[in-house]
Structure 1
Amino acid sequence: MSSTCRVVQASEVAARFSQEIKAGISEKQVSPLLVGFLANEDPAAHTYAQWTQKACEALGLRFELRVCSRTELEDKVVDANVDDNVHGIMVYYPVFGGSQDQYIQNIVSVQKDVEGLSHTYRYNMYHNIRYLDKEEKVKCIIPCTPLAVIKILEYVGAYNPIIPYGNRLFGKTITVINRSEVVGRPLAALMANDGARVFSVDEFGILEFTRGQGIKLNKHEIKESSVKLEEALSISDVVITGVPSPNYKMKTASLKDGVIAINFSTFKNYDQDIQEKASIFVPSVGKVTIAMLQRNLLRCYDYMQLAK
């Protein structure tokens, strides 16, 4: 049983990034424009849009919400792609759902894709390609919530700064309860690329992500895992949950003493007694996700200036 548990709030982690963004805006004397497209009636999407606008305005970034029907969305996004006054584009999902939403993700210009959801960015992330250019001046955009979790892990000391960059999770075993293309799978890949052994869990089973060997050294490998969930949880130094259901609860007794427990679901995936077992507990990541979105926006602005 953990004698003390440090509860880390997302606002605590986000503060440094917000200060850096604000300083960058002040130094450059610019105010990049982020355009958000809302083409659904999802209450969560509306709330996220409100948070985004409030957070952007607090730092001096411009945010414009463009509400349209889902049948108009494609043309509206294409128009924003070619508008030099727009520096970043995001879409609040779901719109149609399934493969049609994936199609919309790939309509957004790579140069303005602040969420990092386009095929180019996802392919590069899964293949550990960190730059868009050979000169290594233009970094790839990483999806906001996976990046937020990485930054939280760095903040709480899960990453070892003594080990060379790109291998700082070496020796860590991590379980992620979520394998969506938006958060869970990218997160597992990023952590494996940094040296961790990652158990990626969804309703279809468990996959194991590890650092590649030999010629695949710079790319993670994936295999079907024979490890049962109970065993994976019992040996994991970090457990990250993102189950979109109010009924799902992680059993505290299943976890390793001193575990780092992180929840990125909008629901509370951990039981109230989690602090009795965890050394560090992060109940939500939303404010760090917003900070990463803003950080990506500023990068998109900078890259657009390089291209001129």
Structure 2
Amino acid sequence: MELQTTFADLRTRLGRTIIGQQRLVDRLLIALLADGHLLVEGAPGLAKTKAIKALARHIEADFHRVQFTPDLLPADVTGSDIYRPEEGRFEFQPGPLFHNLVLADEINRAPAKVQSALLEAMAERQVSVGLKTYPLDPLFLVMATQNPIEQEGTYPLPEAQLDRFLMHVRIGYPDAEAEREILRLARLEYQEGDPPAGEPITQASVFAARQQVARIYMADAVEDYILDLVQATRAPGAINSQLATWCAFGASPRGTISLDRCARAHAWLNGRDFVSPDDVRAIAHDVLRHRVLLTFEAEAEGVTTDQIIDQLIDGVPVTA
């Protein structure tokens, strides 16, 4: 209960800093609690970088931002062996991935070799350089961003790498009232600087919160609902025949695990000690958006993955 209060307070404090993007704040905290990585898609200037930097200030964690570019090399993110002539040996110099919170900015601008190195770090929590493998910190979260506007000179992320992201979150512009608050906050920060963050949440508290999230009660009916929803992405024709012509591939078992973890984290973050079907529906789009692949017919007709997920949610009942 105490940890739930602590994270509810963190959620409130982040919401005061990241105005108009509560969805991003919530998904970032869910990724932290569910021990996963986050892919965020949105136009420039929507506080994506500010959100993860603010989170790093409020927890016991260090932060590093990597700007992905077409000329980036794997060693630029993993680190490399440096020769020390005075000692006559090579010494490993850790790269940006050896931080707790890593922002991979415009990840789709990096070539395949860099994405492969990042994939190993995300999936295995380790980095391989030469013949040696180096473990990463137990608290390790990657938030990658994509700009949906400018796609020239980008490299689409392979499905295997997309599947490693716990959630794919899309964010939009804030409304007029939220933007007014952003304007006033920006003036205040320009005059007085960033407000003090207060006592940070320790890493031990983060790990303890993860244990509570993992142990939260989930009824068999909710578990069945998760399984039925994922099965429907693989056999959408059972919902209606039109869906079968739009879905090329459904979610993998990793999608099932992600739905379970995110639904638990969503319920816990909202102060409950049980998971409901509403928690599953609340995070279903973000968990399944990058795991349901469209057919050419769907793309030609302008059908989006979100529209398909809407129909799946409407068509899959919760059994008692």
TM-score normalised by structure 2 residue count: 0.31
Larger helix fraction of residues: 2
Asked which structure has the greater CA Rg, the reply is 2
